[in-house]
Structure 1
Amino acid sequence: MLGFSLSRLPDLDYDGHFKEKFALIPGYWYYFSQGHYRYGMLIHLATVLPAGILMVFQFTPIIRHKFLLFHRINGYVVSLLTVISNLAAFVIIRHPQGGNRVTSHAVETLMGIITTVGVVLAVYNARRKQIDQHRAWMLRTMFYMGVTITARLINLAATPIISRIGNYWSVWMCDEISFLYTNVGLEFPRDGYPDCFLPDGSLDRWKRVAVSAQENPERLEQLGAGVVITFGTMLWICLFLHVIGVEVYLRMTPRESERLRRVSYEKQLEAGYRNPGSAGLVLDRWADADPWTPPSK
């Protein structure tokens, strides 16, 4: 997450580096160069990248143990940035990297919801001094946020695979294709998309045409289609892997969970909670019937 966020910092040069990098990806610069999509992407980048950098300090043991005040303040900052970045992502989710596909909209909406819910639950448990649950939900949230990184790595392999298999298609507006070629100073490929033109020879901007997903550097729209057509599927696969993976990790570290449960008990006992060790997401009615006490050391 740290490496990815640092590598994407140049994207904050929106009209320079970002434009140059994403001008050939359909659904990006065509939409994100203006209007609310532009400001949504700017806010998303300006919040999610700092969050990705700052969160590494939250998982550094010496900071958690020796600099608790910094850990708390930084945690609130990361949580706030994450929520704002998600809200901005919901603004631009109509045109994600996966193109105008329902599968991409669904998975990216789901990712925004579960990361927002996860960070809220993490903060809630921290406020309730239920540190074991705070750790679990913060880990879940960070694992969910990492889905986009894993998906991009797998997509590097998926793009050439579907190109070699062939018979994969993406739907583009003629105006998107025209914008793509005009942006790099090339002429519209009339021979490939004759349906894009009206009888008088003018461009039918809103006409949709099928674009073959191919690694063809001479046909920019085919190259771009090959990049975006697989991304939604990769997100679904990686979301499944990350959701399962973080639960496996939590169950492989029971000692840390039990240690933090002890810490939670001591903090809640000191704060005068009625059922110390059973706050946060631990239901009080269960605690009343069988109050939790730390096992003997």
Structure 2
Amino acid sequence: MKRRIFESLIYRYQQNKANKAERSMIDRWYDTLDQEELPVKEIDEVQLWNSIQQRIGGTVPKKSEVRKISYWSGAVAASLLLCFGILFWKKQQELNLIAKETHLKPGYRIFETGASQRKRVLLADGSTVVMNAYSKIKLDTVSYDRRDRVVELLAGEAFFEVKKDSTKAFIVNTQQVQTTVLGTSFTVKNYAELDDISVSVFTGKVQVTANNHPLGVLTRGEEVRYSKNNHHSNQEAFDLTTRNSWIEGRVYLKQSSFAELALAVKNIYDVDIKADDERIAQQRYSMPISKQLSWAATLESIKAIHHNKSRKEGGIVHIY
């Protein structure tokens, strides 16, 4: 009933049919709506009520006591409705503002590593992430674990050990590829220096998609490689004993490209190597690279495989 009275007052005001007292009351209500900097807790209900009463009382025509009482009674009802209406509107605006800020301002946090660095990150749900050198992940600490558990691998390589939760999927987004699990362990690799994105599963099952197209469901010992250039994928088995050796500061290359060799050298020694021509760039390498060996010894091993030579120009080691 009170809401219909209030809506009727607004309608009369808009149609220019409101009397002086009604128009004054509505004008003051509109003025109050513009004072958005006042929080709800600072509104004194008694003071607001008394102020409305005084303002309305001062505008009532003095024709007769009966008419005065009639006006006053109507003003009381309308003022009560106005008072509660303002308080409700203020509270609703505050809640809407909080909801809007929560939606527009997520708590993004970035974790990253540099040369020869490895970092372990413990997530809010108990899952862990081990990051390789030159890697970067991002997650929204506000929304994480409320619905799904979403992590974005912006660059590099990371090993995920996911705490099982059948109600909340664990999702890793990296460029075009999305990896979804409930509870398992797997590695995602996406370096800018390499053409492909790879997902390797150590335990459980992992669903992999690329641009919303399924690439397959992987189980223990299976790996999928997705080409960022031609968008083709290839699924194969991998060596469980050496795949994540980078966690201990070692990399085992097996018929790996020069780009993979250069990446391993960069991650472990923070040294840039470059192939001087296409012939060198197409060569394959099978060898271990370990922080326990000096860079000089490793460089000699690299050159010996294909009987190449090297020279240093600035901060780059050229292989020719």
Structure number having the greater helix percentage: 1
TM-score (norm 2): 0.24
TM-score (norm 1): 0.25
Structure number having the greater strand percentage: 2
Instruction: Give the number of the structure whose alpha-carbon radius of gyration is greater.
Output: 2
